[in-house]
Chain A
């Protein structure tokens, strides 16, 4: 009896622990942000009004302030920033995919001994702080930085290229920073690909490039989706890269959020922005997954 008891306990722990973790570190902060987004900013500590208060004996007054969301809808700057962020994330993701796929493929097909070295080279930059690595790009890209000095010395250009503080610099920073997140899931997917499938394709008359298009590419779709999500989602909310490398006038949702939080001390508006961003990112993915499950359901 006690044996069964402990078995149930361990099952409860196994299932419960991840939920507890998610509840504590994901759901609870989300509820807190949601709560702040429905408050009003005040000059106090914390800088937002309470959601409810006891006005008199037995009467609880709850004030839900939707003005923040309304402001987001009315002021075009937020929509523009959101669209610009999605666009930057899209371009960055596509660039990472175009650059990362061949790299992941090369690593996956390299001899086993060399693979570890190549993977190390991909992961190695993580050992340095992200912030410092982005700062380093300022030194590389500015008017008398390494790149321009080198190109001038080569004689390819007559005057320094204006790269820093442009959209181009943001793309460079995004691709540089997020490339490993594209390569690693793709690599994991491509190494699991059965090489005899390509032999079978060749045996059935398929030249190597067509075999890649008809066998390797469709089978690596899960890796492509995983890598793209790992790049796209954080880039939408990216703050450091557009702030350090981008032009001051460029609007990104992450930068805007930072301004509202720290410069304007408007926590409720910033929280509302965060909620909207989350909805924009999460809802499509949930729908997509639902569709995929339905598709699998009809197949079997």
Chain B
């Protein structure tokens, strides 16, 4: 353990030596008496695809607008690439934004829209034409270059907006619900394209979304926001597998929350007396005191049918199948215990639906392993 950690194995945000590309320090934005952004500190590293995820009104869009310079903070500082840009107006920031409504200039062609930012930089005509060509190529919209926005479909507009915001080669690209206005099929394809684009260009992307699936697929890291505050910042995997609080656990995916009280610590595991009447044994690295009220969060797909009843009865629930939601690839079972608790279990439909063992009103015992969930205190 004495040797230094291998930098190649560390992601930039785990590397204590890496300098953050965007440094947000204790940023607060008040509108009247409302805290839209409440004392947020956050580091984003070069080349990241960073997502701000939250429900509407959580302050994620305001945070993005603060980065763009379209709003000025009530207090706190913003540094981009080592420069304090807190008081820099939007037209002087090395940042570009793709707006949720795209905000394409209706009186200009696709080409002129892309050219708009380049002209502001007073680039020579040759270079501008090259840059426009590059962007048209990159987003595969060359045939549309003479059209006006009202002659484009939603998906085409999205590409033009992206091309326009990338044309100036910004240090940081901000995307406000980049896929929000697209229909579902198009959205899924565009997700992968956006990630490919980002990896190819190496530009740091910060995106705002309320769609967790979108955030999970695209992001290197996600910040979950609620009421102007950041609840958790982590990789998609960590956010899903190891939520740090009840809010995050419930916000992402579905989760079973079992309340209980710590009764014993056994190495890296704790024994919890569950409110539903049984005992739970979960892995936990946090130093909980005996008697601490906790919640055990377990994802439905980490539950399984108990084949061998009996044993010590730890991490086990017994009930009857109340509801089955058949989704094709998986089915969701809702199991009601004797104490009235409702537990959710997802099973992959390995067999055709008609041959599955579990059916309505049937008695079932489900179980989980100590490493398949987390112990939460708040």
Contacts and interface: CB of A to CB of B under 8 A. Distances in A.
A112 to B, nearest CB: 15
Contacts of B356: none
B101 interface: yes
A196 B106 CA distance: 12
B88 to A, nearest CB: 12
A199 B93 CA distance: 13
Interface in B98-146: 99, 101, 103-107, 116-117, 120-121
B164 interface: yes
A37 B127 CA distance: 64
A199 B70 contact: yes
B90 interface: yes
Contacts of A199: 70, 90, 99, 103
A12 to B, nearest CB: 33
B216 to A, nearest CB: 28
A199 B116 CA distance: 13
Interface residues of A, number: 19
Contacts of A215: 105
Interface in A155-209: 194, 196-197, 199-207
A204 B168 contact: yes
Interface in B226-276: none
A73 B372 CA distance: 99
Interface of B: 68-70, 89-92, 95-97, 99, 101, 103-107, 116-117, 120-121, 148, 151, 164-165, 168
Interface of A: 194, 196-197, 199-207, 210, 214-215, 218-219, 299-300
26 contacts: A194-B103, A196-B99, A199-B103, A200-B97, A200-B99, A200-B103, A200-B104, A200-B105, A203-B68, A203-B70, A203-B95, A203-B96, A203-B165, A204-B91, A204-B96, A204-B120, A204-B164, A204-B168, A205-B92, A205-B121, A205-B168, A206-B91, A206-B116, A210-B120, A215-B105, A299-B151
Given A204-B91, A204-B120, 14 more contacts: A194-B103, A196-B103, A202-B69, A202-B90, A202-B91, A203-B69, A203-B70, A204-B96, A204-B168, A207-B91, A210-B120, A215-B105, A219-B107, A299-B148
